[in-house]
């Protein structure tokens, strides 16, 4: 009796685990579709050029999620920034979506003090950013004409860089983005 009860419980447990995996998979699919990571669009071979040997080119396998002109401009600017090695492979240029700053890391507090930046300016860099670079899943560099703030989705500032601290690489990034922004208006 004990063995059959134990087998029955084990079987129910495995069925429950399988059901939980299916639910997790469905939730992930819904999340990915909402984030624009998945598409049900038809495959158009002409949109995916191949090398003479049949392999795909060096497009990097980036997923195009263009839905608006702004997104399309970001995709083109992102491509150029990657070609010029101004963005790491894991980074992605996005239209700016400001968030409210809620907290500051100890490093951010040190940089604010060292670089003589006010907390209002830190939020202003976010609010006035013309683009943001996604550095990781939840970390974004908001780039404005006056400076940039690196912020985690939760609103915690990681670091801040006023314009006076922009290096040549940052100035080149901005030049590329501004060039593509000009194309948007023409």
At 101, is the pLDDT very low, low, confident or very high (cuts 50, 70, 90)?
Answer: very high
Q: What is the pLDDT of residue 110?
A: 96
pLDDT of 118 higher than 70: yes
Q: Are 126 and 133 in contact (CB under 8 A)?
A: no
At 52, is the pLDDT very low, low, confident or very high (cuts 50, 70, 90)?
Answer: low
pLDDT of 124 higher than 50: yes
Q: What is the pLDDT of residue 103?
A: 94
pTM of the predicted protein model: 0.62
Candidates 105, 115, 185, 186; CA nearest to 150 is 105
Q: Are 26 and 33 in contact (CB under 8 A)?
A: no
Q: What is the pLDDT of residue 9?
A: 84
């Amino acid at each position: 009796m004990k063995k059959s009860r134990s087998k029955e419980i084990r079987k129910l447990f495995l069925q429950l685990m399988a059901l939980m995996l299916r639910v997790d998979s469905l939730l992930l699919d819904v999340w990915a579709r909402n984030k624009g990571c998945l598409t049900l669009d038809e495959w158009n071979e002409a949109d995916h050029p191949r090398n003479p040997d049949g392999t795909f080119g060096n497009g990097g396998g980036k997923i195009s999620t263009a839905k608006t002109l702004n997104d399309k401009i970001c995709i083109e600017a992102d491509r150029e920034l990657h070609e010029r090695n101004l963005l790491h492979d894991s980074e992605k240029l996005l239209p700016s979506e400001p968030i409210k700053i809620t907290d500051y890391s100890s490093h951010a507090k040190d940089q604010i003090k060292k670089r003589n930046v006010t907390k209002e300016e830190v939020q202003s860099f976010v609010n006035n950013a013309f683009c943001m670079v996604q550095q990781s899943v939840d970390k974004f560099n908001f780039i404005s004409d006056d400076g940039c703030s690196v912020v985690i989705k939760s609103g915690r500032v990681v670091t801040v860089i006023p314009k006076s601290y922009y290096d040549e690489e940052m100035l080149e990034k901005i030049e590329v983005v501004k060039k593509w922004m000009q194309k948007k208006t023409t």
